[in-house]
Amino acid sequence: EAKLAGRVKSLTPSTTLAITAKAKELKAAGHDVIGLGAGEPDFNTPQHIIDAAVRSMNEGHTKYTPSAGLPALKAEIAKKFKSDQGIDYDVSEIMVATGAKHALYTLFQVLLDDGDEVIIPTPYWVSYPEQVKLAGGVPVYVEGYESNQFKITPEQLAAAITDKTKAVIINSPSNPTGMIYTKEELSALGELCLSKDVLIVSDEIYEKLIYDGNKHISIAQISPALKEQTIIINGVSKSHSMTGWRIGYAAGNKEIINAMTNLASHSTSNPTTTAQYGAIAAYSGPQDDVEMMRKAFEERLNTIYDQLVQIPGITCIKPQGAFYLFPNAQKAAELTGFNHVDEFSAALLEEAKVAVVPGSGFGAPENIRLSYATSLDLLEQAVSRIKEFVEKNS
């Protein structure tokens, strides 16, 4: 047996990546599998961003950058916060990281001592609990009930806060539910965090993917006090279809940003230089592609949602953002002879040849996650396969 450290022995691999791998394996073996597991836009990165990155390399920008990122990129991020949210961040309050995921990882490493608690509303993005645990922290789950659009209330939050609570994570728009917290809801949660001195980690990576006239509000824009209490996490992966470039960032309290920068200087040194030049172009160039992709997602959502809810045993709250549907499939599982949605999902992959991610990995065992970051044609085929599977087996 390999001499592994205790901290990685309890680490669970990402369910999302596991499903994607399994679907690819079946595909490679010749099966006609439709994968709805993807957590990334299916568009290529806009051409002007690719061109800018190539140009930067040809101009010789192929060396280390400061650990917190290129000053020019931080300046673009600051500009974006000002124009989108009306928040003033100094460049010293911004740190660029190797994806939003690594920004979060670094944040928990600098925030948490052993035993510190982080409140994680369920359903949650799969990496939050693992990242908190890797930093010695303890995840404390608060259930976002489906009857409350999967959102937590101030009363629930208040009941979960102890003298060990360091932070709470807010992810709006949410992966996996697609729900958005309103300004009033954020204000109420924020007031409570201020009064109990609980930090707010606000993951806003799906900020640009919002539908049906809904609006993204950052909890940090509500008041100067809440800006001080919040670390915003964001990045270009989902907004500009740049998942492989690995550029994300954190913005907030200067001392926290400094500590994160110090840590990064000993782990990544800096996010990839070429990718940072691409991100500068993403924020300083035209935003038409961002809107084009958003519109495409919205059209898919509207088409596929109506078909999905016609499947016997499936109910679904209509998402307001991101690119996932998170239907409750417990009844559909039972109709087809399964006790657990996990088994139902496995059968969907094996028999209907549709890969969905079981909700258990997100702390919501009655649900499944379907990504609509794939063509409308494939989405319609996938939903009709699920429908046939349920009808045939019930």
Q: Which residues bind ligand PLP (CB under 6 A)?
A: 39, 99-101, 125, 171, 175, 203, 205, 235, 237, 243, 248
Least distance in Å: CB of 321 to ligand PLP? Answer: 11
Least distance in Å: CB of 3 to ligand PLP? Answer: 30
157 vs 275 by CB, closer to ligand PLP:
275
239 vs 330 by CB, closer to ligand PLP:
239
352 vs 364 by CB, closer to ligand PLP:
364
Half-sphere exposure of 303 (CA within 13 A, CB side): 18
185 vs 204 by CB, closer to ligand PLP:
204
106 vs 175 by CB, closer to ligand PLP:
175
By Cβ distance, which residue is nearest to ligand PLP?
99
Q: What are phi and psi of 393, to 5 degrees?
A: -100, 0
Least distance in Å: CB of 361 to ligand PLP? Answer: 12
Least distance in Å: CB of 102 to ligand PLP? Answer: 7
Least distance in Å: CB of 41 to ligand PLP? Answer: 11
Least distance in Å: CB of 246 to ligand PLP? Answer: 7
Least distance in Å: CB of 237 to ligand PLP? Answer: 3
199 vs 236 by CB, closer to ligand PLP:
236
Least distance in Å: CB of 140 to ligand PLP? Answer: 18
46 vs 99 by CB, closer to ligand PLP:
99
Least distance in Å: CB of 171 to ligand PLP? Answer: 5
Three-state helix/strand/coil letters over the chain: CCCCCHHHHCCCCCHHHHHHHHHHHHHHCCCCCEECCCCCCCCCCCHHHHHHHHHHHHCCCCCCCCCCCCHHHHHHHHHHHHHHHCCCCCHHHEEEECHHHHHHHHHHHHHCCCCCEEEEEECCCCHHHHHHHHCCCEEEEEECEHHHCCECCHHHHHHHCCCCEEEEEEECCCCCCCCCCCHHHHHHHHHHHHHHCCEEEEECCCCCCECCCCCCCCHHHCCHHHHHHEEEEEECCCCCCCHHHCCEEEECCHHHHHHHHHHHHCCCCCCCHHHHHHHHHHHHCCCHHHHHHHHHHHHHHHHHHHHHCCCCCCECCCCCECCEECCECHHHHHHCCCCCHHHHHHHHHHHHCEECEEHHHHCCCCEEEEECCCCHHHHHHHHHHHHHHHHHHC
146 vs 207 by CB, closer to ligand PLP:
207
131 vs 345 by CB, closer to ligand PLP:
131
